[in-house]
Structure 1
Amino acid sequence: MNVVRSAAAALAVMALLAGCVSAPVRVPAQVDPAVAGHADARRASLEAWGLAGRVAISGGRQGGSGRLDWVQQGGRYEVTLSAPVTRQGWRLSGDAGRARLEGVEGGPREGADVEALLLEATGWDIPVRALVAWVRGVAAPEAMHGPARVEYGADALPVRLEQAGWTIGYRDWFEAGANRPAMPRRIEASRGDARVRLVVDDWTLAPAAPEDAPPPAHGRDADGAVHGG
């Protein structure tokens, strides 16, 4: 896949990731379960949201990196990854029953299993359905992904989450606002030699919309946008 495998693209985005201001190391602590549970519930209740940031993916000999835009509306998603150096990109869209991947060699591909589709087309082992929850700092549904173990920091926000064989580290968070919960800023997920590193620049949080409504545009409204510094 030519989209983001270029070594130059990978080095460029890894440099961007490394160039971000380092956050203090977050360590597990004893917290009030009620406080942590309330914060988790606020993030879990978000159905319409978007994020923009930078991602680096590696797994064995396969790797890539680029700009990431993710728009989620209930069970529907649209994820766009673009490599600024190569000026190439792909788009992944779908719902619980169908996924479509565009921008790959040979033309668009479709399948019922989004993880299998990505693995076949790119060689990347990415748990997309679980990431819908993990990127918000909450465990994925146990019925589909099994039990989760979560460790919290002194701020009652997750430091580490283990589920489905993956370990997710939350290195930094955006602070909570009057009408929005705290949201992850820096995330690292790994399983074996598969690794996903994400730096979120902006979150867009919106009220849930009807199932037949189109996904929300990734905007910068005053009430729902969370911006990185």
Structure 2
Amino acid sequence: MPLTRPLTCRIARRLSLFAIAAVLAGCATTSNQPGTSADASVGAYRDTIDLGGRLSVNYQKDGQPGSVTGNFEWSQQPGRIDVTLVSPTGQTVATINVTPQQATLTQANQAPRSAKDIDTLTSQALGWSLPVSGLRDWLQGYATGTDGKRFAASPAKNEVFTADGWRLRFVSWNQKAAAPTPSVIHAERSATATTEELSIRIAINSAS
């Protein structure tokens, strides 16, 4: 009988320590779940993706400032990109179709216009250039840096200067999936001898 209480106390202490260790281990496991770490980079690049969102564009055209806002729908497949630009009132402003052979822009009540360079084509037709070739990467958190290397963004590493003159900031993230995905992107380009100053804010509403 005299040994019962000390033995019981020792067992209780061991059980308590075991319980604390188990709780701490559980907390550590939870903090490392996919999508919860600020250091986690975006997932693997996908050739096929469909998403929608909102664009806010501030641009300079012939020395005069301009701005436009609206929604967009982006459908990407291997070898093809289809973009629809929609006004705040729900009217289709333009559709863009890009393949390796040709880029086509169609505006409401106008004949389609085609060229090899969609960025230049949108600049001429809309007054501001939609960098479709860049967006193919940006919308998934990727870019090509000034050093020519592949950049994969993360909530902890969210800014890059691209090889074609853009400053990208991935300012907001959706971390509910297995890997984080960008939800708000800011893209800014300074004026050069051949390009006008341009800034684009992209808010992604949905992706699949």
Q: TM-score range by the shorter chain?
A: 0.5 to 0.7
Deviates more, 1:189-198 or 1:81-90: 81-90
Instruction: Say whether residues 1:115 and 2:119 are aligned partners.
Output: yes
Instruction: Say whether residues 1:183 and 2:187 are aligned partners.
Output: no
CA apart distance, 1:92: 0.4
Structure 1 regions of 5+ residues with no counterpart? 1-34, 205-229
- Determine which structure has more spread, i.e. the larger CA radius of gyration: 2
Q: How many residues align?
A: 160
Task: Give the counterpart letter for 2:183 in structure 1.
Answer: R
Partner of residue 159, structure 1: 158
Asked if 1 retains the 8 angstrom alpha-carbon contact of 2:70 and 2:86, the reply is: yes
Distance 1:107 1:62, change over 3 A: farther
Asked if 2 retains the 8 angstrom alpha-carbon contact of 1:148 and 1:162, the reply is: no
Report the identity percentage. Answer: 24
Task: Give the counterpart letter for 1:182 in structure 2.
Answer: P
Partner of residue 51, structure 1: 51
- 1:21-64: CA deviations, max 9, x gaps? xxxxxxxxxxxxxx96x834x33x31110111111112113432
Local SS of the residue matching 1:129: helix
Match of 1:74 among 70, 78, 93: 78
4+ aligned runs moved over 4 Å, structure 1: 148-153
Q: How does 1:15-30 map to 2 (within 5 A)?
A: none
* Larger relative contact order (Cα-Cα within 8 Å, sequence gap ≥ 6): 1
Distance 1:185 1:82, change over 3 A: same
Partner of residue 207, structure 2: 203
CA apart distance, 1:150: 5.5
Local SS of the residue matching 2:125: helix
Match of 2:91 among 87, 109, 113: 87
Instruction: Say whether residues 1:98 and 2:96 are aligned partners.
Output: no
Asked if 2 retains the 8 angstrom alpha-carbon contact of 1:97 and 1:113, the reply is: no
* Separation of aligned partners in 2, 1:111 and 1:146: 29
- 1:78-123: CA deviations, max 9, x gaps? 0111013373421101212211111156421111111111111112
Partner of residue 4, structure 2: none
Task: Give the counterpart letter for 2:148 in structure 1.
Answer: P
Question: CA RMSD for the aligned pairs?
Answer: 2.7
Asked if 1 retains the 8 angstrom alpha-carbon contact of 2:54 and 2:203, the reply is: yes
CA apart distance, 1:65: 1.3
Instruction: Say whether residues 1:136 and 2:140 are aligned partners.
Output: yes
Distance 1:152 1:49, change over 3 A: closer
Partner of residue 24, structure 2: none
* Separation of aligned partners in 2, 1:93 and 1:112: 11
Distance 1:148 1:127, change over 3 A: farther
